[in-house]
Structure 1
Amino acid sequence: MSIDDLTIRNARDAELAAYAQDIASEIRPTAARYDRTGEFPFEHFDVLRRKGALGLTVPREHGGQGLSLYETLLVQERIAGASGATALALGWHLMTFFGLSATRVWDKTVFERVCRDAVERGELINVFATERDAGNVVRGFKPTTIARRQGDGYVISGRKAFSTLAPA
C-alpha cells in the first residue's frame, strides 16, 4: 500500500491507478474546452478505445478485464480528475456491463457479441431509462419510446429526459 494513496491496496490497484493516470494525462489538455463548449468529447473516447478502457468491466471470458466495483472506481476517480464529464459518460458504459455481467439476464449469445464488440471494436452501450412522460423504466414505468426496424437500422420515437453517450 502506498503511504501517499490509501486507496491503493495491492500491486493490481497500483497498476490500474497508473493505467488510469495515463489516460487522464491524455484527456486533461482538452477537458476544459469540452466543459466550456458542451460538445461531446469524441477524442476522449478515441483515447479510451485505444487504451482498452471500454472493456474494463466486460467479463474476462468475453475478452474484457472483469474489474470489480472497487477497481472500476479506482480507474474512474483518476479519469474524473482530468475530465468529470468523460468519466461520468464512461461510467454509464462500464456500469451497464457491470450490471449485465452480474445478472446475466440477456441471451448468452447476444451478451457475448455485445461484449466482444465493446472489447474488439470499441462499441459503447448504455441504458436509455428515463422518459419525459413516464419517469424511469427501471423503477417500473412502462416505456413510451418505440424502436421500429427500418432498413439496416432503427427509427426511434419518444422523448427521453437525458441520454449519456447518445452522440457516440
Structure 2
Amino acid sequence: MADLFESFIKNDRQRDLIRMAERLAIRVKQRVPETEENASFSLENLNDLKSEGYVTLPLPLEYGGQQINLYELLLLQERLAVGDGSVALSIGWHMGIMMELSEQKMWTPEKFTMLAREVGENKKVVNRAASEPATGSPTRGGIPETKAVWDGTYYILNGRKTFTTMASVLDYYLVTAYVEDKQSVGSFLIEKGHPGISIEHTWDTVGMRGTGSDDLVLKNVKLNQDSLVEINTKSAKPTPKGWLLHIPACYLGIAIAARNDAIEFAKSYQPNSLNTTISEVPHIKQKIGEMDLKLLQARYLMYAVAEKWDNNVADRDNLGPELAAVKTVATNIANEVVDLSMRIVGGRGLSKKLQFEQYYRDVRAGLHNPPMDDMVIQMLGNRALTE
C-alpha cells in the first residue's frame, strides 16, 4: 500500500518525527476498545505521549523542545490520528497552545518560563477550558458565565466548563472567566488538584469518545493574582491561529485510516460470486480512486497553507481565510472519504467487529469543531466583496 506521508516529508528531521508518531499510533490504537467503552482519555496513552517527549516538541530549544513549526505539527498530528483520532485531537490542543504561547509571547516571560519548564522538564500537559452550556462555542463570542471576583486577597472563581478535553488527566487548566474588576474576559492557569476543582463525567457523545471531554466544575476556587495569565483587551484585533490546523490534520488522519482499512478489505475479500477479490471490481476501484483524489485535494491544500504560514511570518494576519478554508475543506472531505470506505466494505462496515463505524462516528465530530462551515463561507464571501 502506498505510503501517503512520504511525499510530504522533506528532510531527515521530519522523517524522525513521523517515526515517533508511527510508534505512538501503534500503541494508542491498541487501547481504542477501552477508551470507546469508557468514554475517557487513557492515562496509559498520555504516559506514552510523555515518555516519547511528544508533549515537549512545540517548546523552544532552551526548554527542551524541538521548536517544531506548523508544517511539522500537522505531519505529527495527522499520522498519530491514523492510530486514534481521539488521542490526536486531544493532545493537539496542548501542542497548539504551547506553540502559540512560545511564538506569540502572550504571557509575561516569568509566567511562560514557569509553564515551559513544567512541560519541558516534567512533561506536564495543559488545555484550555472555555466552552460553557450557555455560551456554546467560544468562537461565537459569548461572554463566560464563569465569574472571577476579587475579594481583596484572592480571585474567587465559580462556574462550569463543558467539553474540557482530557479533563481527568490534565496537569493544568487554562480557564476562561469574566474578571469583574477588569470588566473583561481573562484566563487563569490552575494546577490539577487545586481546592474547589472537580471533574464530572458527562461525556456521553457517540463520536470522539476517547477524548474524555468531561465537565470541569469550579466552586469557590481561590486564586492569587499571578494565576491570571491573560486578559482580553477590547481594542485587540483577533489574530489568525495557525495551530488550529491540528483539527483538520486529525480528521484527515481518521480518513486515511478508513481508506487504508477499506483497501485491505477490498484486497482480501472474495465472495463466492467472483473468481477474484472485490479489489478488481470496477466500481470498487472507482471508489478507491475517489478516496485518494479527495485526500490529495485536502492534504495539499492543508500543507501548502501551513508552509505559507511558516515562511511568511509578516503576512500571517492575512491568512485567516485560508486557515479557515482548510478546516472546512478537510473536515468535509474526511467525511466523504469515510463514507466511500464504508460503501466499499458494504454492510460489514456497520459491524462492531470492524472499525469503520467508529471512523464514521468520529469523523462527523470534525464538522462541529471551530471554525464552523457557515462562518468560513461568510468570511470568504466578505473578503471577496471588499476586494
Structure 1, unaligned runs of 5 or more = 149-153
State the secondary structure of the residue aligned to 1:159: strand
Q: Distance in 1 between matches of 2:102 and 2:111?
A: 12
What code does the residue aligned with 2:34 have?
R
User: Residue in 2 aligned with 1:131?
Assistant: 132
Distance, in Å, in 1 between the alignment partners of 2:35 and 2:71 is 28
Deviation at 1:139, TM superposition (A): 5.4
| Counterpart for residue 33 of structure 2 | 32
Deviation of 1:103 (Å)? 1.5
Q: In the TM superposition, what is the alpha-carbon distance from 1:84 to its structure 2 partner?
A: 0.8
Cα shift readout 1:120-150 (whole Å, capped 9, x = no counterpart) = 11211111122222344565433221468xx
Rg comparison, structure with higher value: 2
Shift, 1:71, TM fit: 0.5
> Quick one: distance in 1 between partners of 2:23 and 2:148?
39
Change (3 A) 1:146 1:124: farther
Whether 1:11 aligns to 2:12 is yes
* Separation of aligned partners in 2, 1:20 and 1:33: 21
Q: What amino acid does structure 1 have at the position aligned with 2:69?
A: S
**Matches for 1:68-147 after TM superposition, within 5 Å:** 68-137=69-138, 140-146=141-147
Deviation at 1:63, TM superposition (A): 1.9
Q: Is the 1:27–1:44 Cα contact (8 Å) retained in structure 2?
A: yes
Larger fraction in strand:
2
**Per-residue CA shift, 1:71-101, capped at 9, x if unaligned?**
0111111211111111111001000111112
In the alignment, which residue of structure 1 is the partner of 2:358? none
Letter in 1 for 2:70: L
Aligned-pair CA distance for 1:61: 2.5
Identity, in percent, stands at 33
1:75 maps to a residue whose letter is L
Q: Give the Cα separation in 2 of the matches to 1:34 and 1:45.
A: 12
- Write the letter of the residue equivalent to 2:36: D
CA contact (8 A) 1:23 1:48 kept: yes
Contact 1:129 1:138 in 2 (8 A): no
Query: 2:121 aligns to what SS in structure 1?
Result: helix
Superposed CA deviations along residues 5-52 of structure 1, whole A, max 9, x for unmatched, are: 211111111111111111122222112321233122110000011111
Aligned partners of 1:4 and 1:144: how far apart in 2? 44
Paired residue type of 1:30: R
- Offset from partner CA, 1:140-164 (integer Å, 9 cap, x none): 433221468xxxxx98531223111
- Count of residue correspondences: 163
Q: Name the CA distance, whole Å, in 2 between partners of 1:155 and 1:53.
A: 34
Q: Specify which structure has the bigger relative contact order, considering alpha-carbon pairs within 8 angstroms and separated by 6 or more residues.
A: 1
> Aligned-residue CA RMSD in angstroms?
2.4
Moved more, 28-37 or 84-93: 28-37
Q: Residue 24 of structure 1 aligns to a residue in which SS? A: helix
Q: Does 1:58 align with 2:49?
A: no
TM-score computed with the length of structure 1 as normaliser = 0.85
